[in-house]
Amino acid sequence: EDQWSPLNQEGKKQYDRGFLLQFQPDCTSKPQGLPDIPDIVLEKADVRPHL
């Protein structure tokens, strides 16, 4: 198993959808430096569930 982890930082960074999806609800801080594009950039996080 050559998967990246905190203990195997040289491993391959491959993640399945389930692994990636679990982080969605916790990442609600607005990224810095987003351009001003009112059509698409939201002020508040909109965590859209995808089950």
User: Which residues of this protein are in contact with another protein, per CB under 8 A?
Assistant: 4, 6-7, 12-17, 19-21, 23-24, 26-31, 33-35, 37, 39-42, 45-48, 50
CB of 14 closer than 8 Å to CB of 8 = no
Min dist CB 1 to another protein, Å, is: 15
In angstroms, the CA 40 to CA 32 distance is 15
Question: For residue 19, what is the DSSP state?
Answer: H
Min dist CB 16 to another protein, Å, is: 6
**First-to-last CA distance in the chain?**
28
Min dist CB 46 to another protein, Å, is: 6
